[in-house]
Chain A
């Protein structure tokens, strides 16, 4: 964390007040009083008076934030953690034991992994679905965003502002409104099927099609539920795990890539515009091809932005909820279930709040572990950056 004193402009440091504040900073915390340098008694008074007032004002200024974030974020997480160890059904006070609410220990967690049953079946299916969802969305949206950024950043293109606006606009509109549009585009009589019809292709019933894309690929080469894929892993057969995203989930994948690429494109544009021009010229003089330049010059230099985009992508995709809620609620055949939606459904639909909370915490852990792993993989040993580092800017 950067100390505030490090960021003071130079003229401030050479002024008497500034000099004093640097002294104070080395002793304890800095005292940014603006009083002209009268040493001795006045200085002592200043420490007591102004610093005291600043101390009080500081706390007064941050109190609303602490109250709101504490009351609606920090404490509730503790409450939910408690509920995840109970069998609370929503009717009574979750913090009074008895009256039908009991502490069940880790049961809500073990039910997700170790006990055969509907809860584990659904949860594991949601994990499988989301795994394929993340596996497709994160790389594709990163590549599309980078591609759009390179296109829009090209000096040969006229009307760059217009195209940037067009690509970014979906990112600012509501996820629910966009989902509405896509429900129409991919409906049975919708735009996509009408378009495919021009080429004589009979489009699928997108939102009712639970066939997995990998299963379809296996079927195409004559493999269907073979003997080697019968083994059970966490309550699901290997064949089920290998389904790939369903056709219905594929629509959501397409929608999310289409919606979020614009935001990530802006991050790449910001990074590209920070690239020094002489590097570009040197690369051109060396006679590199466009691809070589991208691979050996541009990509290494925008690595922090790439890192940020992938991290935000991983964090965002594991939480997919809004689109699932309005585009199928897990249907067809559970192939669009995500853990976030299942956690909601389990709590507010089935009133198993403990189980729902446990699912939410498992997703929480998955996200933290994945971002850590990704950070480890993508960062060179000697230049580790903080998780939310924004090294790509200015």
Chain B
């Protein structure tokens, strides 16, 4: 009965451990929010404080372009990020499920070879693709265009794999009924299969949204890095890694970083259980 008596102690140890880690994981984000309302000297003098003194919205005015020349082109970055993320996500969800369905359900010559190809492509590490992507984009004459930023991302092998696995796990009987009623293959896919695949589609939407919103290295190699084609992520990267004057403006940098975090955070808190499924289905970011 020794074990039972030691239980409260163990529970306390458990809570201390888990709370310590929680502070370690949450505190940086709280500091980030607080610092975005601080002045530069305050951020440097009281970095640990969660209370800005004085409170200033200067950073946010610069981010939203209301302070003239010192404004950061955040609005252009946001526009690019939103457009690219929406197009890439729509493309991935549609084209990945189309291909995943064909690989799972439709009998065609060469299907196994195509699927083996998808698996092989998934195994290629991203680091080996930076120069190749640049070479092809250059060769096609679309360097530094939206086409170069979007087209290479509109299909991803991991998404095709997830959809194929999902369709493999769903009974065929309903689609067979539709097909017997004379519906075409595409019609069956569109009006019968896709509505049934909602959980997998949500997972795929989240993975695609998160992936394209946070994308960095691809945009780095297929564009020149001028404001016109900068997203929030590449813009933020240029803000924090270059520019002499920008070397210490931590409130501004943390504010912009916060802007890049908010959309994914909102989606995350709204659809948490799908995120968790996605993390277990897909790979992991590099």
Contact = CB atoms under 8 A, between A and B. Distances in A.
A312 B122 CA distance: 12
Given A62-B102, A68-B151, A322-B216, A387 B130 contact: no
Given A69-B155, A79-B135, A176-B236, A194 B217 contact: no
A356 interface: yes
A35 B280 CA distance: 38
Contacts of B268: 169, 172
A190 B47 contact: yes
Nearest to B178: A34
A27 to B, nearest CB: 13
A183 interface: yes
Q: Is the interface of A mostly helix, strand, loop or mixed?
A: helix
B125 A363 contact: yes
Contact of A68 (B29, B95, B125): B95
B99 A62 contact: yes
Contact of A321 (B96, B172, B253, B286): B286
A326 interface: yes
Nearest to B253: A180
A344 B32 CA distance: 30
A302 interface: no
Interface residues of B, number: 114
B172 A12 contact: yes
Interface in B176-210: 176-177, 179-180, 185-186, 189, 210
A393 interface: yes
A139 interface: no
Contacts of B176: 17, 32-34
B18 interface: yes
A295 interface: no
B114 interface: yes
Contact of B107 (A55, A152, A184, A364): A55
Contacts of A360: 127-128, 130-131
B151 to A, nearest CB: 7
B164 to A, nearest CB: 10
Contact of A69 (B121, B134, B284): B121
B283 A312 contact: yes
A72 B152 contact: yes
Contacts of B128: 77, 80, 360-361, 363-364
A40 interface: no
Nearest to B103: A62
B79 interface: no
Interface string B249-286: 01001101110110011001100100110011001111
Interface in A360-394: 360-361, 363-364, 367, 387-388, 393
9 contacts: A31-B107, A32-B172, A71-B136, A79-B139, A164-B276, A180-B253, A316-B286, A339-B127, A393-B280
Interface of B: 7, 10-11, 14-15, 17-18, 21-22, 24-26, 28-29, 31-32, 35, 43-48, 95-96, 98-99, 101-112, 114-119, 121-136, 139, 151-152, 154-155, 157, 160, 168-169, 171-173, 175-177, 179-180, 185-186, 189, 210, 213-214, 216-217, 220-221, 233, 236-237, 240-241, 250, 253-254, 256-258, 260-261, 264-265, 268-269, 272, 275-276, 279-280, 283-286
Interface of A: 1-2, 4, 7-9, 11-12, 17, 29-36, 51, 53-59, 61-62, 64-66, 68-69, 71-77, 79-80, 83, 94, 148, 151-152, 154, 156-157, 163-177, 179-185, 187, 189-191, 194-195, 258, 260, 262-264, 266-267, 270, 312, 315-316, 318-322, 325-326, 329, 339-340, 343-344, 347-348, 353, 356-357, 360-361, 363-364, 367, 387-388, 393
